[in-house]
Amino acid sequence: MDFDELQNTIRTIEAKVPGVLSDAGSIDALRSLESGILGKKGSLGSLIATIGRYPQDQRGKVGQAINAAKGRIKGLIEKRFKEFQAADAAEEVDAAAAFDPTLPGDPIPMGAVHPVTAVQWEVERIFERLGFTVEAGPAMETEYNNFDALNIPDTHPARDMQDTFWLTNGMVLRTHTSPVQHRSMLKFGAPLRVIAPGQCFRYETVDASHDTTFYQIEGLLIDRDISIPNLIAMAKLLLNEVMQREVKVRVRPGYFPFVEPGIEIDMNCEICDGVGCATCKQSGWVEVLPAGMVHPSVLKAGGIDTEQYTGFAFGLGLTRLAMMKYGIRDIRVLNTGDLRALVSPRRLGGVLLC
Ligand code: DAH
């Protein structure tokens, strides 16, 4: 190729440049165009290698012609490059302007505490204020702790009061939280103030107010000069605080082998407001707090000096209290894992089960 042809080639290459540059859609595309034109193997860049083929006296102007074109093309590429940079910066500014840091974030789906747990915590706080310690006992109990230590020997008909799940190892799934009374007496001695929330199990026919698994909170107070009025005062305070208002209660005699005398403290049924419904078996009352003065045999089994000390005990029906508090009509809902019961117990009681 002679010098004139070279100039033509250069012109042809340069003529195409503005078109391909404006077609380039990104900085990356621009960079690959640049190497396709100016690079060693590029349409213009590769011409440098041909300089040696020209006569000695022409090589200078050949080189100048190529380099001048190279400079012009580089200028155009740089200009386009700056356009891209400016557009990117504008986009960032737009994005920053569109982001409002004062808007609330996307809601994060969150779990909630089970209604029974919520009431348990509330009851624990109330008793802690009254100087009680919170204790726990095992769900799998010895026959002795569940029965014998509570004045229910093998031959006692009261064993039939509670339908028991017997385990093949001779132990039982505790039928009540009362065994923790015995454990606590041995652990702490007297005087003593303790509550023990926990899961209990009975081999029962399931209906609206009975399930095979339920929760109780055992309570035990041992001190000098303790009597039934102390127990009733405490029960009223507890129920009023949990329900956040004055709750109607009634006290009637009850029989439990581990207390003498034994009483039943019932509360007004909150589902029907005392009118009578399936949950309260049409009575208008719900048994939530069986209790009594601790039987001397139970105190003795726990190593307590019955000459000096008396005490009261109670077995709060935690599941029932949670049903009353949240208006849940059917105990079975609480063990089904229905998430609506966890998220909004009020709604569950009010809407789903009405
Ligand atoms: N353990 C009894 C039950 O589950 C309830 C109970 C009654 C507990 C009287 C007590 C009590 O501590 O004094 O049926």
CA 119 to chain CA mean position, Å: 16
Measured in Å, residue 256 CA sits from the centre of ligand 1 at: 7
Residue 151: both structure tokens together: 């004045």
Measured in Å, residue 246 CA sits from the centre of ligand 1 at: 24
Instruction: Report the C-alpha gap between 228 and 216 in whole angstroms.
Output: 21
- Report whether residue 320 contacts ligand 1, using a CB cutoff of 6 Å: no
Indicate which atom in ligand 1 lies nearest the CA of residue 216: 4
Indicate which atom in ligand 1 lies nearest the CA of residue 175: 4
Residue 267: what are its φ and ψ, rounded to 5°?
-115, 155
On the question of pLDDT at 354 being above 80, the answer is no
On the question of pLDDT at 351 being above 70, the answer is no
Nearest to 47 by CA among 29, 59, 30, 57: 59
On the question of pLDDT at 42 being above 80, the answer is yes
Specify the residue with its C-alpha closest to ligand 1, atom 5: 315
Indicate which atom in ligand 1 lies nearest the CA of residue 162: 14
Tens-digit pLDDT profile for residues 146-170: 999 999 988 887 777 778 999 999 9
- Report whether residue 319 contacts ligand 1, using a CB cutoff of 6 Å: no
On the question of pLDDT at 50 being above 70, the answer is yes
pLDDT at 238: 97
With cut-offs at 50, 70 and 90, classify the pLDDT of residue 344: low
On the question of pLDDT at 341 being above 70, the answer is no
- Report whether residue 45 contacts ligand 1, using a CB cutoff of 6 Å: no
The residue extents of the domains of the chain are 3-98, 115-348
Q: Could you give the angle at the alpha carbon of 39 between the alpha carbons of 33 and 41, nearest 5°?
A: 105
On the question of pLDDT at 347 being above 50, the answer is no
On the question of pLDDT at 233 being above 50, the answer is yes
On the question of pLDDT at 316 being above 90, the answer is yes
**What is 115-348's CATH superfamily?**
Bira Bifunctional Protein; Domain 2 (3.30.930.10)
With cut-offs at 50, 70 and 90, classify the pLDDT of residue 106: confident
Question: Which of 184, 314, 318, 321 has most ligand 1 atoms within 8 Å of CB, for mutation?
Answer: 314
Bigger pLDDT: 110 vs 290: 290
* 298 CB-contact burial (10 Å; exposed 0-12 / middle 13-18 / buried 19+): buried
Instruction: Report the C-alpha gap between 341 and 73 in whole angstroms.
Output: 72
Judge if pTM exceeds 0.75. Answer: no
